[in-house]
Structure 1
C-alpha cells in the first residue's frame, strides 16, 4: 500500500505534538446507615385487607406497550368503547314506551336477524393499524433491560436534564468580540493543536469535548493575552482530565508539552484562576453526551459511529458552530453521517423521537458540516482529518462528502 505514516502510532506522538507546539507559537505570534431495623412482631395480627392502609407511596409508573401489542391494545380499546356506547344507548331506550312498541311489533319477524357492519370500515381500520405500525418508534433499550449500567429506567430523565441545562453551560457565539489580543483564528489553532495533544495522551473522548467547553467558558469570562492562550488550553485539558478521565497527566507532562514555555507554578496558578472563574462548576452536557444516545437510536455499525464522531470533532475547531446547542450539533452529526454513507437523506421517526429534532431543523447545521468535510484535508487545521484518516478510526474522513445536502439547502 502507498500510505505514508498515517497508521504509525507515533503520528500524534509526544515528539510530533511538541514540534507542533513550536509551530503554534510561531503562528500565534504572527497573527496579532442505613442501619438494620429490627421490629418485634405483634401477636395480634391484622387482617390482610388492612395491611396496606398506612402505606404511603407514589403510584407505579405506567409504561406503554410497544410494537404491535400497543396497536392491538388501542384497537381493542376503541372497539370496547363503541360496544359500550351502543349498549348504553340500547339500555336507555328500554324505558321508552314507543321504542317498546316498536320492538314488540318487530319481534314477530326473524328472531336471529342481525345487523352486519360494512366491511369497508373494517378494511379501513386495518389500513390505519398498518400505518401506525410503520410509524412506531423502535425500543432501542430492549436489549439492555438486564444491563444495570445502561440505566434504561432513568436514561430518558437523564437526557431531559441535559437538555434543560445545556443552554446554561454554553457561551455566547460572539464572546470573542470582547477579547482584544486574541481572535477566532487563534482559538481554532489552539483547539486543532489540543486535539493532537489529547490523542497523544490516549485520553477519553468525552475529555476532549469538556476541555473545549471549559476553555470557551473561561475566555468568555476573562480578557486574556495571546501569550496566555496556550497555557489556558493545556490547563483546560488538565481540568477536564481531573473531572472525568481515568488518566490524568502530571503537571510536569503539561509543562513538557509546552516545550517548557510555561513553568510548573504558572500551570498551577492558571488552574486556580480557571476553576475560580468557573465557580467550580466543571460539568457541561457536551455534544458527546448526546451523540452516544443518538447513535444508539440509529443502530448501525462502527463505521457510522466513527463518522458521526468525526463530524462533531470538526465542529470543535469552528468558532461559528458555537451558535448551535450541543444537542442540535450531535443530532446533525448523526444525520450527516447517515446521508454520507447512504447517499440519500435519512432521518427515521426513532431518531426524531430520541433527538427531539426534525429533519428540517438539522439541515442548516448539517450543510455546514458538509462544507467542513470538504475543506478538512487542506489548510492549516487538519488534525481531525489526519486523525480520522488512520486505520484505527476506520479512515472515515476519506468518505465522499454529502454534497447533495448543500444543494438541497440552498
Structure 2
C-alpha cells in the first residue's frame, strides 16, 4: 500500500490553536469571504422523507440550515512544509485504508476535514504527515462508526512507521489544537439531500459521488462550503448524463457560484490513475461501482453542453 515516508521522531509540532469554525453560522455578514447560504427550497420535507427522515418534518428548515449553510475552514495556505502534492498523497492513502477497513463514507470526509483543519492550524513536520492523517481517521471513526478499528491495526497499515503510543499522542494533539470542534456536516450528506430534492437517478448520484470524492484530493476544495461542493458535483453529473435542463433542479446556487468548482473536478477526473492519486479512480473503476471512473473519463472527453 502506498504511504508517505515516516519515521519515529518527537511528536507532532503545531502553532497555536486555530480559529476553527465559528459556532454561530447564522451571521455570515461578519465573514465577507463566505457567500450567503441558500434558503430552504420547496420540496424539502419530501426530500428529507426520501432520506429516511420523515419524522423530522417539523425541523426541516433547521436541518437544511445545519447541513447546507455550514462554515468553511479559515482561508489559509498550507504550511510551507506541506505541498498540495504531499497532501494529496496522504489523502490517497487514507482512501485506501478507509476502503480496506470498510468504513462509512462520512468517516472519510470527516477525516479529510480534520486533516485540513489541522494543517491550517500551523506547522507540521513532513515525516509526521502520515501519522497525522491516520490519527484524523481514527478520530473520525469515533464520531461516525459503531465499531472502531484497533489502534494496533492502524499501526500495521502504516507499515510500522509509527507506534500505538504515537498514534494516541497524535490523537490528543488533534483534539487539543482543534478545541474538540469535530462536528462537520460533510458534503456527502449535502449531496444526498440535493439529489433527493432534484429526484436524481441512481446513475447521476453515483457519478456525482465520484466527482465529490475526487475533490478530496484537491487542497483548494477545503475552502469550499460542503453544500456548494456537493451542488457542483451533482450539477456536473446531471449535465453529463441527462443534458442541460433535464430533470427538476433546485436553484440553490448560480452557475457563477459553481464555476470554480466544476473545472477542478473535471481536471481530477481526466487525470486518471496518476501516481499518488490513483486510489479513487481505481475504486470507482470496479464493477461494483459500474466502472464509473472509466465512463466519466470517456464522457468528459466528448463535447459537453454548458451550464444553463
CA 1:194–1:164 in 2, change beyond 3 Å: closer, same or farther? same
Gaps of 5+ in 1: 1-18, 27-135
The aligned residue for residue 77 of structure 2 is 175
CA 1:290–1:150 in 2, change beyond 3 Å: closer, same or farther? farther
Q: SS at 1:175's partner residue?
A: coil
The aligned residue for residue 351 of structure 1 is 250
Which one of the candidate residues 380, 386, 391 is aligned to 2:282?
386
The aligned residue for residue 336 of structure 1 is 236
Q: Report Cα offsets for 1:303-359 as digits up to 9, x if no partner.
A: 2221111001100001122342221110000001111212x223766421xxx2123
Look at both structures and tell me which one has the larger radius of gyration over its CA atoms.
1
Q: In the alignment, is the contact (CA less than 8 A) between 2:232 and 2:262 conserved in 1? A: yes
**1:99-248 → structure 2 map (5 Å cutoff):** 141=46, 144=49, 151-167=56-72, 170-172=73-75, 174-176=76-78, 179-248=79-148
Which one of the candidate residues 214, 220, 234 is aligned to 1:314?
214
Which one of the candidate residues 17, 20, 26 is aligned to 2:2?
20
Which structure's residues are more often helix, by fraction? 1
Gaps of 5+ in 2: 7-40
CA 1:402–1:345 in 2, change beyond 3 Å: closer, same or farther? farther
TM-score relative to the length of structure 1 = 0.61
Residues in 2 aligned to 1:188 and 1:329: alpha-carbon distance in whole angstroms: 18
Residues in 2 aligned to 1:341 and 1:249: alpha-carbon distance in whole angstroms: 38
Q: Report Cα offsets for 1:233-284 as digits up to 9, x if no partner.
A: 0000000000111231111111111111111110111111000111111101
Residues in 1 aligned to 2:179 and 2:230: alpha-carbon distance in whole angstroms: 27
Q: In the alignment, is the contact (CA less than 8 A) between 1:373 and 1:401 conserved in 2? A: no
Residues in 2 aligned to 1:239 and 1:228: alpha-carbon distance in whole angstroms: 17
The aligned residue for residue 271 of structure 2 is 375
Q: SS at 2:209's partner residue?
A: helix
The aligned residue for residue 11 of structure 2 is none
- List structure 1 segments (4+ residues) > 6 angstroms apart after TM superposition: 404-407
TM-score relative to the length of structure 2 = 0.79
Bigger relative contact order, structure 1 or 2 (CA pairs below 8 A, ≥6 apart): 2
The aligned residue for residue 299 of structure 2 is 401
The aligned residue for residue 362 of structure 1 is 258
Residues in 2 aligned to 1:406 and 1:171: alpha-carbon distance in whole angstroms: 34
